[in-house]
Every structure is written in structure tokens, then in C-alpha cells.
Structure 1
Amino acid sequence: MIRAIGLSKCYQIYEEPRHRLMQMLARGRKRYYREFWALRDVSFSVAKGETVGIVGRNGSGKSTLLQMICGTLNPTAGEVSANGRIAALLELGSGFNPEFSGRENVYLNAAVLGLSREDVDQCFDEIVAFSGIEEFIDQPVKTYSSGMVVRLAFAVQVQVKPDVLVVDEALAVGDEAFQRKCYLRLQELKADGVAVLFVSHDAGTVLQLCDRVILLDAGKKIMEGEPKPVVALYQKLVYATRAAANEIIAAARPDDTLPDTGVPQVVAVSPDFDPELVPQTTLDYASRGAAIHAVEVQDELGRLVNQLQHGAMYTVRFRATFDSAAQSVIFGMMAKTAAGVEIGGAVTDTPGSGLARIEPGERFDVVIRFRCLLNPGVYFLNVGIMGAADGELTYLARKVDAVMVRVKPERAIRATGLVDLDVTATAERVGA
């Protein structure tokens, strides 16, 4: 449904306005501008019914790419094609006329998408119901709140049954109930065979919605593949220094091994330890003066374990080392599903508080105890160190998917979902 081959976009950057005129007069004999490549040699495709995510730091070329796919920007080089009707959730509501009513803007916006008035008549009630602004639909849009505008615009785009849907950070509109409607509608469109190109900085949403993910940085495609490893590499770039980010990009697949620091190993091993239960997606953020070593899960007897019993107590342990001074340091752990959805965790203090100052060379043994209330399944544990660096609170070190654990199935468990909420469920017969 979408195919891009060697897609590139270059802008001419002039230092002074007069240089534009001088460039025209020079007729190519001299150059008065510098080139800025917003996108360079990017190729990919999106099949029918497939959702492909695009992630990258600010300025990586994501919006430029979407504009070329939608046809609002011409590429400098390469080819791009999109088959069928395209609905783009880019600048929601930007095409609305503030003097027109919501009803008039629905017909106007739908006409831009290629729908006839008869087509809109058939789905108009669904559009208004989805937006949730029925009582204001005949009022001028200039009287709407910004939230009402984007909700109506979103409702138009997703109700016109597109063949290709392009989404750029457009799901954070409205309240939680409306956001839930948006996600459900995207799932319905995907089931109907709509190709979705999805851009977001929300890693959890990308992992939840996308079949494949593309990582862009500085206009180039760095990685493409399964969502989890690509998103993990993207998160590592976000928290890396400029020098470290350049090394990560050059390597494409960073080396996540850490030096041996002599951390004592657990001598005893529980019968519930499975040596084959090893994560293949472990990833370390670039260090900002700290490192994490020897992450382990232990049972109440101090034995190494990775197959957990529902309701039992466990301890996550790791060694933290510092080669630079740090301030406001806290340590933490997060449990996630196999799809990357965060379930819950804990930190040693509130962000911005914690240990006031740590000197270079100091080491800490971090101990985090928890009761396993997870329902049977496979889960991953992240661990991290946060602190102040260059005046901002950030990760000093983080290990993603540090440990893989399996909660063993039990016939007696009646809880459903991911977490046991300790709910009591009964049914009382009251008659025929």
C-alpha cells in the first residue's frame, strides 16, 4: 500500500536573505547556500493490514517522511507511492474554517479526502457520535475548545474508511475514554485491511499497535524490524550523550556487555531456576557516569530463581557503580509484559530527591523486594539509575530486559488479566 525507494529531501539553507538573490544571479556558477538533508536514502514498504511504526529523536526526519507520503512535500530524490485513499492525522484541525460550523467543516474536510456529499450523509451521524460533540455540531468552530476541534477532525479522518492511514502523534487527544475509542478504531481499521503508518514518541503505544518499527536518526534509517529491539535502541539513543549516540548509530547494533566488577555471585540455585530462560533483548543505555552489573532475582532463601510462584516474596538485586560524581540519585525496577507494556515497579525515592551526592568510585548494592502478584505468563524486568546530569534529571544507567521471568501456572488462580487485584468474585442464585 505504501512504497518508498531511496527517498531523500534536501533543503537549501541561506545565511542571509540577499544570498537567495545572489544564487539566482550566479546561475549555478557559485553556491551561496549550504545543504541540509532532512531525509536521505530511506526505503521501506507497508502492506495491506499492516501497522508500521516510525520512531526517532526530534529532528530525525519523521514529519518530513510523512509529508512526502501524503503528497504535500516533493522529494529531492527517490520515489514514493501510496495506493488508495489516504487519511492523514498530522496537524489535526488545521484545515478547518473557524467561521464555519462543525457540520460544515465535516463536509468540507471529507470533500478534501475525496468523498461526495452523499458519502458523507451516510456516515455523518457516526462521525458526530464518535467525536462526542453532538450538541455543538452546528456552532462555529471558532467557539470550540482545541480539544473539541481535534476530536472532530480525528472522527472525520477515521470514519471515512481510508485505504492508508498516516498518524503523527495524534492519539493523545481528548480524555481517556476518547483515547480508548481511538485505539479501538485503529484496531478495527487494521482488521479491515487498512495500512497504517504510525509515528509516536510513546514507546508503549508503538509496542502495542505496531507489527514492525523503523528507527530514523538524522534523516537516515538506522534499523528496521520487530518492535521490541527497535524501540529499545531508540530509547537508548534518546538518553545517550551526543558522542555516545554517534557510536550507537555507527554500530547499529550496540555491544551491551559490561566489565566484570567482582560482584559476588549467588552460590545456591533454586530448583525453580531455568538456565534456558534468558532474555535475547537485553539492552544497556549509554552510561552517563554509572553502570549496572549482575542483575539477579532471588527467592526468600537467597537462591537464584527465574520461575516465580504466584503470591511469594522475591528480591531483585544488582550492583551499581559510579565513575563520575552524581546528584539526586535514585534506583528502580520495572516489570513489563513480553510486548513491552509496563505493569509496575518501584524506585528508592521520588525523582529529584534520593542520594544528594555520590562520588566517583562508589558502589552500591541495590535490593528491591516485591510480592509476585503477576498472573501466569512470561515477563521482563528493567532496572535503572536516575540522577541529575547537566542540570536535568535523566538515566545515568539503565538495563532494559535485564531479567526474564516466568510466573508458573496454577489451577487455583481465578484472577484474570496481568495482575491479581485480590478481587472476590461470587454469584448468588436468586431464582429462575
Structure 2
Amino acid sequence: MSEIAISLNNVSKCFKRYDHPGDRLKDLLFPNKSRGDEFWALRNINLDIPRGETWGLVGRNGSGKSTLLQILVGTLTATSGRVKVGGRISALLELGSGFNPEFTGRQNVFFNGKILGLNQKEIEQKFDEIAKFADIGDFIDQPVKTYSSGMFVRLAFAVATSVEPDILVVDEALAVGDEVFQRKCFARIKSIQENGGTVIFVSHSATSIVELCNAAALMDQGELLLQGTPKFIVSKYHKLIYTPPDQLEGVRQEIQEFNSHDPNQSTSTASSQNPSQLKEVSQDFYDPNLVPQSTVNYFSRGAQIESPYIKNLAGEPVNLLCFGQDYIYCYTVKFTEAVFAVRFGMLIKTNSGFELGGAVSHSPQNAIEIIPPGKAVQVEFKFRCRLLPGVYFLNSGVVGLVDGIETFLHRCLDIVTFRVQPETELLATGTVNFDIEPKVTFSSLLEV
């Protein structure tokens, strides 16, 4: 049985909310009569994390993730329950925690180093390495209140990981760093993992959770709803965040029922995931709240695009897709005027607007000669999802001849959005999987 690095047993945290500041003082002076409303940020959290594993923690904003991490690192005390942490723990929590804004970066390095258990000589020996990793130049001798958020997190992460912790806790702070620095951070986290360290990683990035973690847990409304493999947990997290408010409680209960289906679901190995869960993860489905907010409609010239959606081969509408599966993009075009040389099209774009690719229904030479008014045309484009996990958008368009020039009769930008769900076994990188087949061959230097 693996050694447990972190053990939480029925951990709860209650805060009091007061209508007036003076009520807090009255509560201290007269404790027998409570004047505040209780708010339970955490309720009966039970979690065991084996040493050497990396766990992802996901959940909506306000679900209790940050409160739980603060209890783990000791900056908050649980109202009830037992918390056991085995080993030196280092944390990178919300931006600004643990640093004195009036101190310089150098002074904060020594200040935080001592909090983390290093003596003066050890900090001096590590200082050059910390400064090099943070890479903030002369700002190391300026007050941290003058730092940008990116500079701040650079220095904070460099200090937190310099002590070679047994347990590293990271709470979404890396999101403010640039891409190059994030790569350095993930490389440092990988190093901690390889040396047998335990990592608790909070992120809203599904891809990061799947790539970095051995296991994950889903929190909501202060409760730990579910534990399991990262891909399984992320799929449930996505379903939760896109559920309409009036259906939220039903989805929460559905998610919690998976705990009763598999008593070993709390373990982090893939073998703990039963076949029904694997099937659930591989399913595509439809989330009604996953709708684009950036839709642009062109002026209509006798044609109107309506009812765009994606369906699977079973004919079910979906917008959370599975990699490698076939789908059909559909829309209807209604014609109010006679139009000539008609062609239909579609285009897939990234979240940033980069055009990945698309298709047209006919070549210019084979365009539909004429469509009379009063006609409706159903258009379908079948495609195979070769996109890596992320959010994507679809355009729809219909062109025809106007005064002898091919012109958009109607066009809709960002009319449909869809998400490709994370996969654990993909070796591809970037945006599109080109089915690249790696081959690595070893030979003696004498043979080269």
C-alpha cells in the first residue's frame, strides 16, 4: 500500500458573515449569542493522496478549492476534522500571498526562505539559482509592490520550488505567466514529480490537468463530489459548468452517484476506473450553455442561414466532441429570391480566430445553377475530429452570383462553438493531429 502524503478526514471550514462590522466585536465579547450567519466553505472533505502522485483539483469558482489548499498549507485552520500532512510543504497560492509588498524581491526571497525552513546560509547558496529562474533582472532589488503580476509570480514560484519540497501546492497562479515561463514552471514541476514529490495542482485548464496529473478530484459548493482519473473528472467538470442553473442539483446528484458505483474510485490509477466510467468518458454530448458570444451575421441577399448544429452519426446534437470520431455539421438555408451559381461552405477556427480549415459543397464550375424563391436547402458537412482538446468555432456561408460577381448571399461567423474533450493517450501536440508516427532508433557511436 502506498504511503499517504496528505490525509483529510471529515474536514470542514465555517466562516461567519456579519451585516455590520460591530457585530464581529460583539461576538468576541459576548460569545454565547451569535450575531453572524454561518457560511460553510467546506463540508466533510475526505481525501487521501499517496506520496509521489500529482493530483488535480477542479471546480467552479467558489467551490472551496482555495480554502482547502490554505488549510493544507496551514494558513487557515479547519473548523472540524483532521488534517495530516507528511513532509515539507511549499505553496504558490493566490497572487500576493506570503510576500511583503514593501520589501524588495531580494528581501522577500530571504523572508520566505526562512518561513519555508531554510537557514541564512542555505538561502544564500540558493539565491543565484532563484534569481536566474525568476529572470526579473534588476527588479530583484526593487519593492515587489512595483512588480507586474507576471514578475510577481515568477519570483514566487522560484522561491516556492527552490526548497525541493516533499509536497508542492499550486493554485492557478501560473495562469498570469507568459508561455515561456509556464514551460519553465511545468518543467520544474516535472522534476519534482520525478524526484518522488507530491503535487497538488489547481487549474481551470483541462489539458493541463490531464497532462500533468495521475488523479483528480471535483469540488462544488464546498463538497468533494468525485475522485478519479483526470480525464473522467474533467468530463464531469465540463458537464457541471455548462449545466443551466435550474438543472444543476440534478447533475450534482448524478455525479455523486458514481462514488457509490465504484468504491475504489478514490484511487488514482487507471485500473480503478470501471468500464461504465470509461464509456461515459468517451461519449460525446450536448451542453446547452456552450454557446458562442461572438456571432456575426452578414447582410442577407435573398438567403438566410438557420438552425446550425453538430450531430453525431446517431443523429444526436452534440457540442462536446471526442477526438477521432466522425460528426456532421448541419444547417438550413431558406431562399427568398431566385439566386444563381450557388455554393455552400463551412470553416473551423480556433478560439483566437485562426482559420484551421473548411470545405465548400461545390467547385465554381459545378455550382448549383439556380435556386428559386421559397426553397429550403439542408446542408451537411461530414468531418472527422482530428483536433486536439480545446474550444473551436464554426462559420457557415452561402455564395452566389450578384451582378455577375460571386458574393456572399448570407454568412454567419462563430455561429456554433464546440469543445474537444481531453484525451490521456495522445502524443500529438499543437492544434491538429496529423497522425505522425514517431520512430526512435539507437545505434552505437562507432556505427555513425
TM range (shorter): 0.5 to 0.7
Query: What is residue 282 of structure 1 aligned with on the other side?
Result: 283
Q: Is the alpha carbon distance of 1:285 and 1:198 closer, same or farther for their aligned partners in structure 2, counting shifts above 3 Å?
A: farther
Query: What is residue 98 of structure 2 aligned with on the other side?
Result: 95
CA distance in 2, matches of 1:52, 1:307: 24
CA distance in 1, matches of 2:431, 2:284: 27
Q: Is the alpha carbon distance of 1:95 and 1:237 closer, same or farther for their aligned partners in structure 2, counting shifts above 3 Å?
A: same
Determine which of 236, 241, 245 is the counterpart of 2:239.
Answer: 236
Query: What is residue 2 of structure 1 aligned with on the other side?
Result: 6
Secondary structure of the residue aligned to 1:60 is coil
Deviates more, 1:88-97 or 1:180-189: 88-97
**Contact 2:153-2:174 within 8 A present in 1 as well:** no
What is the alpha-carbon root mean square deviation over aligned residues?
4.7
1:206 Cα deviation after fit: 1.0
1:135 Cα deviation after fit: 3.6
- Partner AA of 1:296 in structure 2: L
1:317 aligns to 2:328 (yes or no): yes
CA distance in 2, matches of 1:58, 1:132: 31
Deviates more, 1:148-157 or 1:18-27: 18-27
Q: After superposition, give the CA deviation of every residue in 1:346-405 in whole Å (9 maximum; x if it has no partner).
A: 799xxxxxxxxxxxxxx996744558988xxxx89999999xxxxxxx999968669x9x
Query: What is residue 254 of structure 2 aligned with on the other side?
Result: 251
CA distance in 2, matches of 1:159, 1:95: 15
Q: Is the alpha carbon distance of 1:366 and 1:192 closer, same or farther for their aligned partners in structure 2, counting shifts above 3 Å?
A: farther
Q: After superposition, give the CA deviation of every residue in 1:232-288 in whole Å (9 maximum; x if it has no partner).
A: 111111111112111100111699xxxxxxxxxxxxxxxxxxxxx988531534435
Q: After superposition, give the CA deviation of every residue in 1:126-181 in whole Å (9 maximum; x if it has no partner).
A: 11111112443334434433322221111111121011111100222432111110
1:120 aligns to 2:123 (yes or no): yes
Determine which of 191, 194, 200 is the counterpart of 1:191.
Answer: 194
TM-score, structure 1 as length reference: 0.65
Determine which of 152, 159, 164 is the counterpart of 2:167.
Answer: 164
CA distance in 1, matches of 2:25, 2:43: 27
The percentage of counterpart residues that share the same residue type is: 42
Q: Is the alpha carbon distance of 1:289 and 1:89 closer, same or farther for their aligned partners in structure 2, counting shifts above 3 Å?
A: closer
**Contact 2:92-2:160 within 8 A present in 1 as well:** yes
- Partner AA of 1:295 in structure 2: N
CA distance in 2, matches of 1:5, 1:208: 28
CA distance in 2, matches of 1:372, 1:12: 49
Q: Is the alpha carbon distance of 1:50 and 1:124 closer, same or farther for their aligned partners in structure 2, counting shifts above 3 Å?
A: same
Query: What is residue 295 of structure 1 aligned with on the other side?
Result: 312
1:12 aligns to 2:16 (yes or no): yes
Q: After superposition, give the CA deviation of every residue in 1:70-111 in whole Å (9 maximum; x if it has no partner).
A: 111111111111111111100344333344332222111111
CA distance in 2, matches of 1:253, 1:317: 33
- Partner AA of 1:317 in structure 2: I
CA distance in 2, matches of 1:100, 1:155: 17
Secondary structure of the residue aligned to 1:252 is helix
CA distance in 2, matches of 1:8, 1:21: 24
Which residues of 2 match residues 329-344 of structure 1 at below 5 A?
Answer: none
Q: Is the alpha carbon distance of 1:120 and 1:106 closer, same or farther for their aligned partners in structure 2, counting shifts above 3 Å?
A: same
**Contact 1:288-1:396 within 8 A present in 2 as well:** no
Query: What is residue 226 of structure 1 aligned with on the other side?
Result: 229
**Contact 2:10-2:44 within 8 A present in 1 as well:** yes
**Contact 1:279-1:401 within 8 A present in 2 as well:** no
Q: Is the alpha carbon distance of 1:230 and 1:278 closer, same or farther for their aligned partners in structure 2, counting shifts above 3 Å?
A: closer
Q: Is the alpha carbon distance of 1:222 and 1:130 closer, same or farther for their aligned partners in structure 2, counting shifts above 3 Å?
A: same
Q: Is the alpha carbon distance of 1:155 and 1:316 closer, same or farther for their aligned partners in structure 2, counting shifts above 3 Å?
A: same
**Contact 1:8-1:76 within 8 A present in 2 as well:** yes
Q: Is the alpha carbon distance of 1:11 and 1:320 closer, same or farther for their aligned partners in structure 2, counting shifts above 3 Å?
A: farther
1:131 aligns to 2:134 (yes or no): yes
CA distance in 1, matches of 2:391, 2:431: 21
Q: Is the alpha carbon distance of 1:85 and 1:25 closer, same or farther for their aligned partners in structure 2, counting shifts above 3 Å?
A: closer
TM-score, structure 2 as length reference: 0.63
1:20 Cα deviation after fit: 4.4
Count of aligned residue pairs for this structure pair: 340
CA distance in 2, matches of 1:369, 1:84: 54
Q: Is the alpha carbon distance of 1:225 and 1:147 closer, same or farther for their aligned partners in structure 2, counting shifts above 3 Å?
A: same
CA distance in 2, matches of 1:77, 1:333: 51
**Contact 1:41-1:220 within 8 A present in 2 as well:** yes
Q: Is the alpha carbon distance of 1:156 and 1:5 closer, same or farther for their aligned partners in structure 2, counting shifts above 3 Å?
A: same
Residue ranges of structure 2 left out of the alignment (5+ in a row): 259-277, 292-306, 315-321, 333-345, 360-375, 396-413, 437-447
**Contact 1:232-1:400 within 8 A present in 2 as well:** no
Query: What is residue 267 of structure 2 aligned with on the other side?
Result: none
Determine which of 45, 48, 52 is the counterpart of 1:49.
Answer: 52
Secondary structure of the residue aligned to 1:54 is strand
Q: Is the alpha carbon distance of 1:143 and 1:294 closer, same or farther for their aligned partners in structure 2, counting shifts above 3 Å?
A: closer
